Chain A
Amino acid sequence: MQQAIPYKDLLPAATTAANSGITKLVAENPVVVFARSGCCMCHVIKLLLQGHGVNPTIFDINEQNEAATIDEFSKIIDNPEEIADRPPPPFPTVFVGGNLLGGLDEVMAAHISGELVPLLRKAGALWL
């Protein structure tokens, strides 16, 4: 289980959208979860993913950085409304293979329908 990295360590001071830390992180790691510290839903996602043999990269977001994080999200994903429309808080948020998968709802739905595993494999998170 990788250490949760505090948000303040992620973003360099002055960045453009393309160079933003989050984009980089999402691109570099096959499975990324952004969650509020101590959130139990994040724990659920983690357990589900670990059950598939995946070790997700988890980033702890605290209250001050929430707005900024959401802002960053909207720069990377094609459809910013996807996040904005979700009930607050829009956490946890999961990226797989550089693309937004969604929150716990979407992860559960993909898990039940059997779509999650191929997605993880494609992103290189699974080797089996």
Chain B
Amino acid sequence: MNFASTQFVPSRRMGICEPLPQIGMWSDYKENNYLDTSTPAILEVDSRFDNQSEDTSHGIVEPSNKYDQEVSKTNDKQLRRLAQNREAARKCRLRKKAYVQQLENSKLRLMQLEQELERARQQGLYVGGGLDTGQLGYSRTTNPGIATFEMAYGHWVEEQNKKTADLRNALCSDITDLELSSFVDDGMNHYFDLFLMKETAAKADVFYLMSGMWETSAEHFLSWIGGFRPSELLKVLEPHLGPLTEKQSLELSNLKQSCQQAEDALSQGLERLHQILSETVADGLLGEGNYLPQINAALEKLKAMVRFVGQADHLRKETLLQISRNLNNRQAAQGLLALGEYFQRLRVLSSFWTSRPRESS
């Protein structure tokens, strides 16, 4: 039905009521197909103002119409907003890209520095500060005992590599048993020298030894109380000693078990020390006055740490001695060679790990 009369149609779009001349009901326009192709644009704009398209009750597109002017102004605003948004998003992406690039560069630089550090340490040069020196509470530069140890250890590793190579050549060559035995003694004594060095270093700073800062990362990962775990070592060596007699196999098996027991006893003793130290430090928390007595008591307990590292090294020494007692010279030499190669590989592994290419995040 056609209503020619003027109607006041509340326009939610504008929030005002105004007469809409020459506009009939929506249904008429649908039927008569008065909507032309340009209307969709306007309808789109309209729909932002008003979700219900049924309310669109006109189809006239001329901008001269006051409503339409409003609409195209709003249209412009919208377009401008969209454009600004796009621009902002683009700039944000560029900033992010630059940041990631900077991070990648820093990572590369860090890797380079770590490699240099490792190289310098291996050469026995003193290098100031590890990556977490802050946790030590002091810089290694101020502890001469540790600086001495680092240098000496660097030389020790060089010597060790040389001895391993010499031993390899000796085993391949036609060598007398007596000469071989002197190689074995020399090799064993070299390890005992290290234990003596560590004993002195422990008195200078036992936590330096315990933290494994003197070892490469793979060695430290596998370590137990400041060095290799004797029972683990036996397992590594066993297949490389050549054929063993039944007696030797039995002795080795007993030795493995004894090592395990001794290690367990020391580990549990260390746990006990943890407990005691914790209790000593925590004694009288939230109390008034100074806590110096507790600190002093704790200092005394910490001294036990030095003894633990000493006992662990002592166990390593006794284990090496005991294996050599049960083996003939050739077997012992092979064992020492296997040991030397094993630690060499661990050091190489650590070096590769430090310089491996990192996946981009």
Interface residues of A (CB under 8 A from B): 38-41, 43-45, 47-48, 51, 104-105, 108-109, 111-114
Contacts and interface: CB of A to CB of B under 8 A. Distances in A.
B231 to A, nearest CB: 11
A43 B311 contact: no
Interface in B252-294: 254-255, 258-259, 261-262, 264-266, 268-270, 272-273, 276
B104 interface: no
Contact of B272 (A40, A48, A104, A111): A40
Given A47-B264, A108-B262, A112-B262, A41 B314 contact: no
Contacts of A114: 254, 258
Contact of A111 (B258, B270, B273, B308): B258
B268 A47 contact: yes
B318 A112 contact: yes
A40 B258 contact: no
B307 interface: yes
Contact of B311 (A39, A47, A108): A108
A1 B162 CA distance: 51
A44 B266 contact: yes
A9 B308 CA distance: 31
9 contacts: A41-B307, A41-B311, A43-B272, A44-B265, A44-B268, A48-B261, A109-B318, A113-B325, A114-B254
Contacts of A44: 265-266, 268-269, 311
Contacts of A45: 265
B265 A41 contact: no
Interface residues of B, number: 25
A108 B315 contact: yes
B318 A41 contact: no
Interface string B328-347: 00000000000000000000
Contacts, number: 58
B322 A40 contact: no
B319 interface: yes
B268 A43 contact: yes
A41 B319 CA distance: 20
Contacts of A113: 318, 322, 325
Contacts of A104: 311
Interface of B: 254-255, 258-259, 261-262, 264-266, 268-270, 272-273, 276, 304, 307-308, 311, 314-315, 318-319, 322, 325
Given A39-B304, A41-B269, A108-B318, 18 more contacts: A38-B276, A40-B270, A40-B273, A40-B304, A40-B308, A41-B304, A44-B269, A44-B311, A45-B265, A48-B262, A51-B265, A104-B311, A108-B262, A111-B262, A112-B255, A112-B258, A112-B318, A114-B254
Nearest to B310: A105
Nearest to A39: B304
Q: Looking at A41, A44, A104, A114, which has the most chain B CB atoms within 10 Å of its CB?
A: A44
A109 B317 CA distance: 9
Given A111-B261, A112-B319, A47 B269 contact: yes
Nearest to B320: A112
A5 B277 CA distance: 24
B314 A105 contact: yes
Name which of B258, B265, B318 has the most chain A CB atoms within 10 A of its CB. B265
A44 B315 CA distance: 13
Contacts of A111: 258, 261-262
Contacts of B265: 44-45, 47-48, 51
A40 B254 CA distance: 26
A108 B272 contact: no
Contacts of B270: 40
A13 B334 CA distance: 61
A109 B318 CA distance: 6
Contacts of B325: 113
7 closest Cβ contacts across the A-B interface? Answer: A44-B269, A47-B265, A112-B318, A40-B273, A48-B265, A40-B269, A44-B265
Contacts of B262: 48, 108, 111-112
A105 B266 CA distance: 12
A61 B273 CA distance: 18
Contacts of A39: 304
